[in-house]
Amino acid sequence: MKTISDTLQIWYHELTTIMRDKGILIFILFVPLAYPLLYSYVYTNEVVREVPAAVVDESGTSLSRRFIRMMDASPDVRIHARCHSMAEAEELIRRQEVYGIVRIPSTFGRDIWLGNQTHVGLYCDMCSMLYYKALMLTATNVSLEMNKDIKVRHHLHATTGRQEEITRMPISHDHVPLYNPQGGFAAFLIPPVLMLIIQQTLLLGIGMSAGNTREQSCGSFIPRHRAYRNPLHIAMGRLIFYFLLYLLLGIYMATFVTRTFALPQLGGYGTFLAFLIPYLLACISLAMVLSALVYRREDCIMVFVFLSVPLLFLSGISWPGAAMPALWKYVSWLFPSTFGMNGYVRIQGMGASLHDVLPEFRGLWVQAGVYFTLAVLLYRRQIRQATLQNV
Amino acid sequence: MKDICKRLRGIFRRELRIFAHRPLFLFTMIVAPVLCLVFFTTLMADGLPTKLPAGLVDEDDTHITHIVTRILDSMEETDLVALYPSFTEARQAMQRGEIYGFFYIPKGLTEDAVANRQPRLSFYTNDAYLVPGNLLMKDLRYACELGSLGLTRETLYGKGLTEHQAMGILQAIVIETHPLNNPFLDYSVYLNNIILPGILILIVMLSTSYTIGLEWKCGTQRELYAMSGRSPTVALAGKLLPQTLLFTLMFVLYDVCFYRFLMFPCRSGIVPMMLLGTVTVLAAQAFGVFLFGAFIGQMRLSLCLCSLWGILSFSLAGFTYPVPAMSPPLQALSWLFPLRHYYLIYVNQALDGYPILYVWPSAVALLAFLLLPCTVLWRYRAAFLKYKYKS
């Protein structure tokens, strides 16, 4: 009975102090609500279309013009300028008016008529990989398409329509980009970032609240309040407060944000909730442990904010986990965000069941257990120190 | 003049004493940037991720399909890790995150191909993980094309054509891709050149707001004001000078590491990049001073804004998802981020080695950041005399 009433009192105390503190509310309410919207808005166009390119057509034949027309007609590339020389085209790259040059050699038409191979040069400015990808894929597609035409029209003449089709493509193939059919940037980046926001704002919010308490109660990060006696109760009380709040925020992200920006949503709500619970527990416990390091309320901003960028890369989402050195892989297991982001992407984006994300799910429970115990031990030490000082 | 120098020296020494008493400064100013440098450069040490795990579903299982398998396995970026008996099992492995893509060979492929019935090959990539998905797509697609062309080539050889003649028929147009200045598509060059300076800019802005705010928080702002001889300019200059030196040195360390040890392309020479680094540090500091001045007395709010700005700059710099593809309001907003201008100047200088005149708007914008503090100096004067720290 004592346990429950103490825990509830701690929960209520946390609730009232934090609701009065604008600084913490910014991090635990405003940022999780607004940042996903802002971030999704930045990437909401998903793909890059009509990348400007310059053409140097030294051939000037109907075939080379056809090549250029097909490039221009593709969704991803736009022929911005037709130049007379490479120097002229390079000037356009310098001015960043175009991001690539297509150079068609003077022998282009003659080579094709003679049945020789001809080489089209594609020069890409490497300032962005997406530009390179658009230009390279489009040029390759156009060349493959024209190659098929040349094969049938000039060399292997067919008698029926069906035969022509087979000669063009003896084995046809298709590519299915699963779970992100448009190859979009938002669908790839936003789901993991949502999970990262949960962890980072918890670190900031709980850290700031601990720093606040330290400033008010002479260096102890446990408030002077009669309910704050048992370390287990303190950890439980805090855990319940943040858990309930973030459960709502998590649901908001998985439903409202996901629907508003049409992000992939294949997973069941039940699976998502079952996964969110250990993730929140692990994040809150980790935040409680790390908050012991915060001595002033503003310190946590200095320590935790920049961590977001390395954590995103540690997760193996933007940088494939298969190409990650072993050491960093082990380090990544220390943070709930690694498991959280991967699990969430697989559940929401790929329709995985809880069974499919079992390693992540277990990892989160282990983290939650370990960090919670650690938090309780830290609180106990702090309470002992405080009593010693008072004596 | 002599008097001002003396005052600056006094404030400079006082600042060093403050640093010496706080381990937090040691962490954010030295440990964190160096740790990030080590982390990101070792994480992407391979340059381009290779040997990405992929799977194969071979329902046909003939010697022809085995050739395709061997081609796939010999490719640079593909590592065939598993054979799955059915499509469903391969998809489940993808959902578990074991593979990033798989190749599907249907039953009867060889028979249909030999009998000219145009069979169909399929490959599936997981584009929820965009980078490995795209890289695998390139390889799997190439294997499909090769399979198809190989079949026609055998027919042509059968008709008595030489290899030279056959290639002219099969692949009349060849695209030669030239990724300018980053020929190996090195992701380390592409990402680290911007991410690490981005993290540094974030840390510089936070440290600036934090150190200035600390004066108000500790109630020592009047002491500082007296030392400066009642000049906000002298007070701020003396206060931020130690950080300017430290962060500039850090930038020089980054440049030396990038362009001397890791041999990233640097066509402009290392000195312009160091100069750019110095101006960027100053711009970030100026921005921090401006934000603190605009929300004077509210250290926490300015720190929040600095974090928001710093984290958002990774998106709005446009090195992953290009700015011209974003919606117009965001394109305008991107001008307000120092990292955006750093990125454009870096591409112009180190990556491409063009004259700086081509990016004069960015150079001017970066210098304009340095003037921002002038607009809020009057607020500082009032703040030194009146405002108190509000928690």
* Model confidence pLDDT, tens digit, residues B286-298: 999 999 888 866 7
Does residue B182 surpass a pLDDT of 90? no
Query: What pLDDT does B298 receive?
Result: 78
Strand A118-125, strand B173-180: pairing:
parallel
Instruction: Read off the pLDDT of each residue in B162-177 and give the average, rounded to a whole number.
Output: 89
Which has the closest alpha carbon to A302: B26, B346, B321?
Answer: B26
Q: Which of A33-47, A167-181, B48-62, B73-87 has the lowest mean pLDDT?
A: A167-181
Return the residue matching tokens 């390693």: A359
> Does the pLDDT of residue A196 top 80, yes or no?
yes
For residue B357, list chain A residues with Cβ-Cβ distance below 8 A: none
Q: Residue B55 is which amino acid?
A: G
pLDDT at position A166 over 90:
no
| ipTM confidence score | 0.92
**Smallest CA–CA separation between A1 and chain B, in Å?**
36
Please say if the pLDDT value at position B134 is more than 60. Answer: yes
Q: What is the pLDDT of residue B297?
A: 61
Q: How many CA atoms lie within 13 A of A365 on its CB side?
A: 7
A305 with B310: Cβ contact below 8 A: yes
Residues of chain A found within 8 Å of residue B124, distances taken between Cβ atoms: 175-178
Task: Name which of B92, B128, B344 is nearest A356 (Cβ-Cβ).
Answer: B92
Q: Is the pLDDT of residue B387 over 80?
A: no
- Across A237-252, average pLDDT: 93
pLDDT of residue B173: 92
Determine the Cα–Cα distance for residues A59 and A340; give it in Å rounded to an integer: 55
The answer to whether residue A391 scores a pLDDT higher than 70 is: no
| pLDDT score of A318 | 83
pLDDT band at B222 (very low <50, low <70, confident <90, very high): confident
Cβ-based neighbours of B256, under 8 Å, separated by 6 or more: B270
The answer, yes or no, to whether residue A293 has pLDDT greater than 70, is: yes
A277/B21: higher pLDDT:
A277
Mean pLDDT of chain B: 89
Which phi-psi region, left, alpha or beta, contains residue B350 (left: φ > 0; alpha: ψ -120 to 50)?
Answer: alpha
- Judged against a pLDDT cut of 70, whether residue B248 lies above it is answered with yes
Check residue B390 and give its pLDDT.
59
Is the pLDDT reported for residue A226 higher than 70? yes
| Backbone phi and psi for residue A123, each to the nearest 5 degrees, phi listed first | -110, 120
**Residue B141 with chain A: CB contacts under 8 Å:** 173, 175
- From the list B24, B122, B177, which residue is nearest A176 (CB)? B122
Give the per-residue pLDDT at A171.
82
Compute the count of residue pairs across chains A and B with CB atoms less than 8 Å apart: 328
* Cα B300 to the center of its chain, rounded Å: 28
| High-pLDDT (> 70) share of chain A, % | 99
Residue A364 confidence (pLDDT): 96
Tell me what pLDDT residue B388 has: 66
Q: What is the pLDDT of residues B249-306, one digit of tens each?
A: 999 999 999 999 999 999 999 999 999 999 999 999 999 999 988 886 678 888 888 9
Phi, psi of B165 (to 5 degrees): -65, -40
Average confidence score pLDDT of chain A:
90
Quick check: B47 and B109 in contact, CB under 8 A? Answer: no
**β-strand B52-58 against B101-105: which pairing, if any?**
parallel
pLDDT the model gives residue A44: 87
Min Cα–Cα distance to chain A from B3, Å: 35
Looking at residue A367, its pLDDT comes to: 96
Q: Which chain B residue's Cα is nearest to A63?
A: B173
Q: Do B321 and A48 touch (CB under 8 A)?
A: yes
Per residue in A320-371, pLDDT tens? 888 888 999 999 999 999 999 999 999 998 888 999 899 999 999 999 999 9
Answer whether B230 touches A (CB < 8 Å). no
SS3 percent helix, strand, coil of chain B, rounded to 5, is 70, 10, 20
**Residue whose C-alpha is closest to residue A32's, from A241, A205, A260, A289:** A205
Q: Which of these ranges, A152-166, A231-245, B149-163, has the smallest mean pLDDT?
A: A152-166
Q: Of B120, B344, B354, which is closest to A172 when you measure between CB atoms?
A: B120
Q: Is residue B195 pLDDT above 70, yes or no?
A: yes
How confident is the model over B363-386, as a mean pLDDT?
A: 89
Arithmetic mean of pLDDT, B193-214:
93
Q: Are strands B173-180 and B101-105 parallel, antiparallel or unpaired?
A: unpaired
> Which residues 175-204 of B are in CB contact (within 8 Å) with A?
175-182, 185, 187, 190, 195, 198-199, 202-203
Average pLDDT over residues A305-311: 92
* pLDDT above 80: residue B389: no
What percentage of chain B has pLDDT greater than the value 70?
98
Is residue A249 within 8 Å of residue A198, measured between CB atoms?
yes
User: In this predicted structure, what is the pLDDT of residue A37?
Assistant: 93
pLDDT at residue B139, rounded to an integer: 85
Query: pLDDT digit string (tens) for B4-23?
Result: 888 888 888 888 888 888 88
Q: Is the pLDDT of residue A225 over 80?
A: no
Q: 């028929």: which residue's tokens?
A: B169
pLDDT for residue B63:
84
What predicted TM-score, i.e. pTM, was given to this entire model?
0.93
